[in-house]
Structure 1
């Protein structure tokens, strides 16, 4: 049987770095192939080469598509359709196209690329102010200038279990709902192949399961070939027929998803034993803290309800709970981003307690300048080098030699070796892996010398190996810089690895404060499903 795609000796370089090295792989029509690998292993680069809409300056080898194409209208179908009639009345004949030798403006390459759907991590690409059903209808208009009926768009939303949100405005959807609308938009183009790059990487396990189920159903109903990357080995087992393990751009293993997942998990190793750390006196406290919102649909919403809490200097403190429990709202109040409806917040600066509810440079402003926050959807300046991102771009004006020294020291603190830190300074963010970008973003917060750092879902898009690296980065930053961390996370494994104490939130209230293991023992089944997955 002729493969759908043949990849022969594929190599892609970015400067001195080989993102892919002599990759050889065959993908059969109708197959679901999983790609596992640590951050920076080349997973996303491989998917973008297969998509065929981006230029790569330094690329060699072959990526050959075997398809059926109509000579009359240039419509493309998978190879099993060769010999059948095209919808225009012409015949589908055998056709080959090498994406490496054909330029991105070549008509043959574009004909095939139009039949390939893609879902990207951290990118939803929706019309935020348009209704969901309009977003799906506009997908065909963008791709070919054609149109689909309202009924057809509604059918596609049924396919991805989003019919109950079709009249919602897209920007008001949750992350998992947006990702399913993205899938419906791609299905509207009647693709022959789906490329899914970490499609649930930023989602909690419970929401990710909904996205995975939608993908599984769509692949079966539309008879698509699928290639999916994920940092969750379970996804490989659940969604794929075969799996590939990539490491440093090379194919290390190819075989059964369960075996490849186990091999990848073994690469992660384990955390070092935690050292006992003595924390200091309280540095942040709140009393009877509440935040209420008025909702037309729900009336008075108690996002945070009469919370009492103390965080100690040098402590790594976790806020855990299901979506809507109030942990993000609480963290933003403690960080001075939003004001409470009632209650008090105080932060110790030196030996003095500052009232965070009183505005002004001598009150709240005196404390917030020593606070930093790394959002889950962090942003680096894409066209500035790493050293610029760590200095000038964030208003940190230093002589170059001092800036370089401070930047290297901070990068080492978050997990780079000194040699790696020196090399990465001149690179732009798009030359880095996802894990490297996250560490640079953390360095961007730490280089301002905060006393308290809030991390919002710091491991949301990471593979197992990078999660361990980030865990070590947080612990090392506490040891080297004396930072106090407040971590908002769905990832209970991460919380158990790094946090000294944690608070379990439910319906705006704190249910329990204690060790991570103690918090875990008090979780409901729903909370375990969302924060622990399978």
Structure 2
């Protein structure tokens, strides 16, 4: 049965059409996959279906066919028409012009839609995991809600964290709790916008399986966006490929994915690079802290690590392995509990555990970092974010040229790069903001660059462009990169060496292929059961 009809929808932001005459039908109980590059309009369409105010179509209509109760105005999927509502009235079939209907009807439909957004963890940070899920359950007493919450957390494989405080969870764990919360709302429509873009393979697999069990297999209609072809093939019944706001291909997921992959270039051939001597040395580095719920947490537990000058070194591991904590320790944002950390500056080794201008303050100007939870200055445009906001004082014309150069390096074509220089962060897609944040790090040309999930929201084409840009930067500027990533293809393409982290320890170092084999669930069955 037809559930949602998108008719001739166009949306413009700041004079640029981000959706152009979109037409499609979403049937009840089916999963629509939306594939496309960053900035193609995927998130705009998802937010439009959700009813977010700033995403109202400029042209066209979105028609919801729903079963509506005339008594309490509860809304259900259309197949419920003719059945009895809990208030005693009978559901009636209604066609609703979503963006032009009565305000109360609009709100009633919105309440029946759940959404998972990319890089957004909408949790009660001071509450336990189970309380977070219980708060999403309505229409049941506390005991029933508790059992429902336990079942949902079991489906998301989060029962081992059930009494933990939400703020103590890793990013992947938070994402699983968000999923359980959204399913707990028992929606008629489930929207997932890049739900696994920044997750490691194991955690991504858990999220995908939970979406299948908790949404798809239960007959809940779902729309999922992704730039990862495997997600489309695994989860969707029907797929569309968006490119610059237009549907350029639609049909069976396998066919759409194959046509999308045909236009993904291969990265430049990776050649052996002669690195210099050690530039980063860590010995016995630990970071332990105490949590009331978890006791002693060994986030980093005795790390010995050497990174060479002009080397591209990758650190891979599951969510919660300690990778981000290690990067923050190296940069000086988190104090280690113990251990030795030194960075070579010229001919001198600098103690990074020593504060002040004669310690790590000497090295800081030569370090750059892209955080996983990056942020841009919201009241500055892209040019401002790439120059004045980071104290990069350049003549106006040179600043403009350098900003364009670095934007092209992170995957924007020249015309589009010129166009977004005057845009503000909230006018960009999530993937575009991510690339600007990466450009913000690269534009200062630091000697050592730490990248935490640099390709998490990037489509395959942009990922190849960033891979080539990092290697060129290393070749031309002799930069050293420490890259933390869940993107195994990216690690294989860009890194000279890699290390596998688990439980705060480095288990293995070596060639990226041997390290990735240890992490990929399909090749190492044990990784499905081990943290």
SS at match of 2:100: coil
Separation in 2, partners of 1:340, 1:113: 46
Match of 1:289 in 2: 284
Looking at structure 2, the residues matched to 274 and 453 of structure 1 have their Cα atoms a distance apart, in angstroms, of 20
Question: Quick check: 2:37–2:459 contact (8 Å CA) kept in 1?
Answer: yes
Q: CA deviation at 1:65?
A: 0.8
C-alpha separation in 1, matches of 2:145 and 2:425:
40
Query: Among 111, 133, 142, which residue is 1:149 paired with?
Result: 142
Q: Contact 1:159 / 1:217 at 8 angstroms: preserved in 2?
A: no
1:126 aligns with 2:123: yes
Matched, 1:249 2:245: yes
2:439 counterpart of 1:440: no
Deviation at 1:97, TM superposition (A): 1.3
Offset at residue 378 of structure 1 (A):
0.9
Tell me, yes or no, if the aligned pair for 2:35 and 2:226 is still in contact at 8 Å. yes
Deviations 1:213-246 (A, max 9, x none): 2221122565311111123322222222222222
Which of 492, 495, 498 aligns to 2:494? It is 498
**Stretch deviating more after TM superposition (382-391 or 437-446):** 382-391
2:77–2:188 Cα contact (<8 Å) kept? yes
Question: 1:425: Cα distance to partner?
Answer: 1.1
Distance 1:445 1:472 in 2: 16
8 Å CA contact retained: 1:414, 1:476: no
Equivalent position SS for 1:89: coil
Q: Quote the offset at 1:453 in angstroms.
A: 0.4
Is the CA contact (8 Å cut-off) linking 1:322 and 1:527 kept in structure 2? no
Indicate the SS of the match to 1:55.
Answer: helix
Whole-Å Cα distance in 2 between the matches of residues 453 and 138 of structure 1?
41
Report the counterpart of residue 111 of structure 2 in structure 1.
114
Preserved CA contact (<8 Å) 1:289 1:340:
no
- Give how far 1:365 is off: 0.8
Residue 194 of structure 1 and its aligned partner are, at CA, apart by 0.7
Q: How far apart are the structure 1 equivalents of 2:127 and 2:338? A: 36
Aligned to 1:99: 98
Tell me the SS of whatever aligns to 1:453: strand
Structure 2 Cα separation of the partners of residues 55 and 360 of structure 1: 46
Question: Partner residue of 1:483?
Answer: 479
* 1:159 partnered with 2:156: no
Are 2:187 and 1:199 aligned? no
Pick closer, same or farther for the CA change 1:167–1:330 going to 2, 3 Å: closer
Secondary structure (helix, strand or coil) at the match of 1:186 reads: helix
- After superposition, where does 1:16-27 map in structure 2 within 5 Å? 16-27=15-26
Cα 1:180–1:232, aligned 2, differ >3 Å: closer, same or farther?
Answer: same
Q: TM-score, length-normalised on structure 2?
A: 0.89
Other-structure match for 1:136:
133
Alignment length, in residue pairs? 524
* Corresponding position of 2:229: 233
Contact 2:496 2:512 in 1 (8 A): yes
**RMSD, matched Cα:** 3.0
Shift of 1:532: 12
Assess if the C-alpha contact under 8 Å between 1:410 and 1:446 holds in 2.
yes
Instruction: Go from structure 1 to structure 2 and tell me whether the alpha carbon gap of 1:281 and 1:57 turns closer, same or farther (over 3 Å shift).
Output: same
CA shift at 1:17, angstroms? Answer: 2.0
Listed one character per residue, the Cα deviations across residues 482-507 of structure 1 (whole Å, up to 9, x for unaligned) are: 32211112323211111122234455
Deviations 1:90-132 (A, max 9, x none): 2322211122434xx7222222121111111111211100123
TM-score, scaled relative to structure 1:
0.89
Secondary structure at 2:65's aligned position in 1?
strand
Residue 187 to residue 306, structure 1, CA distance change in 2 (3 Å):
closer
Instruction: Please say if residues 99 and 106 of structure 2, whose CA atoms lie closer than 8 Å, have aligned partners that are also in contact.
Output: no
For 1:85 and 1:460, locate their aligned partners in 2 and report how far apart those are by CA, in whole Å: 45
Query: SS at the partner of 1:346?
Result: strand
Q: 1:219 to 1:328 in 2, by over 3 A?
A: closer
Residue of structure 1 equivalent to 2:49: 50
Deviations 1:233-287 (A, max 9, x none): 222222222222222211122222222222222232311213454434433334x
